[in-house]
């Protein structure tokens, strides 16, 4: 989506069509994360994870070969199918192989790594490559890290041992056992909170580059710089704050993160800040807590709520609902609202997603330490 200012004019895309491009990836990602996450709960993590990584890396290359909106839409949908399992399975591996006192820290490290590369380096790298060599080459460059990391994961990552007798990855769980995860109140709240978070994330990532370039009339490279600073902040906060939640609890930290992250889309609308780009970049750096939120509301809270043999299923379900409501409906609706009221409206809607998360956090039962949520259920 950081490349939208480059390929949208070539394909004559409207804001609504750009929203659809984001949404088709989201819905494919969501369904895939839930389905293949459950599959990995039954048959193991590695057989699902490693092929998916190679597949989505190849599809990134194919994205640079399309010639119209329809082709791009199809390729991005397939990419979402391939990429969805990676999120659910990788985070499940970390959650189930970490001691309870270090679970937040370890999940935070892995999730924040996504921010360092995908949200900090990617906006700068892809926009610079696109400005010099064309947007198609940016897609080719983006596919290389996945091939490297797929090889490393295939060689070094071992199948986790959950220690669950009669269950776990190699047990044959009945469908009714998977449905039992819906009996946990925190599971429902996690799905709603994930929706608010995804609304914030996708509306920001899709429409902020367009708002900066079309409304504020800044260069695409400036948009890349500002959003890169925001992503770099997401890395540091995502690294630190889940670890803090190991001590203070998931609930109070989530409340703070929701308030902080709402400031990102709101700050972008303060016109005077664009005269001081380094100041605006600093604000975005200090307020983007998205990766910490993802680690907690989509991974830690659901996985700590359900029995351990269903952790990937729980993560996949929260991802599924969040992507459908916040990352599929919101960009399409946000694009339509942008057409009618201007590009400022999707950013206001993005801040509203954090308001939803704040209310959800107020209602959560503390999940730090798996036994607390399971005791409540019993």
- The model's pLDDT over 277-297, given as tens digits with 9 standing for 90+, comes to 899 999 999 999 988 998 899
**Identity of the highest mean pLDDT range in 25-34, 76-85, 105-114, 123-132:** 76-85
Asked whether the predicted pLDDT for residue 172 surpasses 60, the reply is no
Please tell me the distance from the alpha carbon of residue 272 to that of residue 276, in angstroms, as a whole number: 8
Band of residue 176 on the pLDDT scale cut at 50, 70, 90? low
The DSSP letter of residue 364 is P
Residue 171 has what pLDDT?
A: 46
Asked whether the predicted pLDDT for residue 163 surpasses 70, the reply is no
Of 11, 5, 3, 26, the closest CA to residue 327 belongs to: 26
Over residues 249-258, the mean pLDDT reads 93
Residue 51 has what pLDDT?
A: 92
Asked whether the predicted pLDDT for residue 238 surpasses 70, the reply is yes
Asked whether the predicted pLDDT for residue 210 surpasses 80, the reply is yes
* Residue 183 vs residues 176, 188, 211, 306, 367: alpha-carbon distances, Å: 12, 9, 42, 9, 15
Over residues 149-162, the mean pLDDT reads 82
Helix (H) or strand (E) segment spanning residue 129: helix 122-133
Of 368, 72, 371, 115, the closest CA to residue 238 belongs to: 115
> Residue ranges per domain, the chain?
4-377
Q: What percent of the chain has pLDDT over 90?
A: 25
Band of residue 120 on the pLDDT scale cut at 50, 70, 90? low
Helix (H) or strand (E) segment spanning residue 331: helix 330-341
Count helices and strands (H / E) in the chain: 18, 0
Asked whether the predicted pLDDT for residue 111 surpasses 90, the reply is no
3-state DSSP call for residue 248? helix
Please tell me the distance from the alpha carbon of residue 139 to that of residue 125, in angstroms, as a whole number: 11
Residue 257 has what pLDDT?
A: 95
Q: What is the C-alpha radius of gyration for the chain, rounded to an integer number of angstroms?
A: 20
The answer to whether the pTM exceeds 0.85 is no
DSSP states along 83-103: HHHHHHHHHHHHHHHS-GGGH
3-state DSSP call for residue 114? helix
Greatest CA separation found in the chain?
62
Q: Which listed CATH number (1.25.40.10, 1.10.357.10, 1.20.1250.20, 3.40.50.300) goes with 4-377?
A: 1.20.1250.20
- The total number of residues shown for the chain amounts to 378
* Residue 133 vs residues 76, 114, 117, 130, 136: alpha-carbon distances, Å: 22, 25, 21, 5, 8
């Amino acid at each position: 989506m950081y490349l939208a200012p480059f390929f949208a004019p070539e394909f004559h895309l409207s804001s609504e069509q750009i929203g659809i491009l984001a949404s088709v990836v989201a819905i494919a990602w969501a369904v895939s994360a839930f389905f293949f996450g459950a599959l990995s709960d039954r048959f193991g993590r590695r057989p699902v994870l490693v092929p998916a990584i190679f597949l989505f890396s190849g599809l990134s290359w194919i994205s640079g070969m399309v010639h119209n909106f329809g082709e791009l839409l199809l390729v991005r949908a397939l990419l979402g199918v391939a990429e969805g399992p990676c999120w659910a399975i990788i985070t499940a591996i970390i959650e189930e192989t970490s001691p309870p006192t270090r679970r937040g820290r370890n999940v935070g490290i892995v999730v924040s790594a996504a921010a360092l590369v995908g949200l900090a380096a990617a906006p700068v790298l892809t926009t610079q490559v696109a400005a010099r060599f064309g947007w198609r080459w940016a897609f080719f460059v983006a596919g290389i890290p996945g091939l490297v990391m797929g090889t490393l994961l295939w060689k070094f990552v071992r199948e986790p041992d959950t220690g669950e007798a009669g269950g776990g990855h190699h047990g044959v769980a009945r469908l009714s056992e998977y449905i039992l995860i819906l009996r946990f109140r925190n599971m429902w709240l996690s799905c709603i909170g994930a929706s608010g978070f995804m609304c914030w994330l996708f509306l920001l990532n899709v429409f902020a580059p367009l708002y900066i370039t079309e409304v504020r009339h800044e260069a695409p490279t400036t948009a890349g710089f500002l959003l890169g600073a925001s992503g770099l902040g997401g890395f540091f906060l995502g690294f630190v704050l889940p670890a803090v939640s190991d001590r203070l609890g998931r609930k109070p930290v989530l409340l703070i993160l929701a308030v902080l992250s709402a400031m990102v889309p709101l700050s972008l609308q303060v016109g005077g800040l664009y005269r001081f780009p380094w100041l605006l970049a600093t604000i975005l750096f200090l307020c983007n807590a998205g990766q910490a939120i993802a680690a907690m509301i989509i991974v830690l809270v659901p996985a700590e709520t359900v029995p351990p043999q269903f952790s990937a299923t729980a993560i996949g379900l929260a991802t599924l609902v969040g992507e459908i409501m916040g990352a599929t409906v919101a960009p399409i609706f946000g694009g339509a609202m942008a057409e009618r009221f201007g590009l400022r409206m999707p950013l206001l809607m993005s801040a509203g997603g954090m308001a939803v998360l704040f209310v959800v956090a107020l209602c959560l039962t503390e999940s730090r330490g798996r036994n607390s949520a399971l005791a409540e259920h019993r």
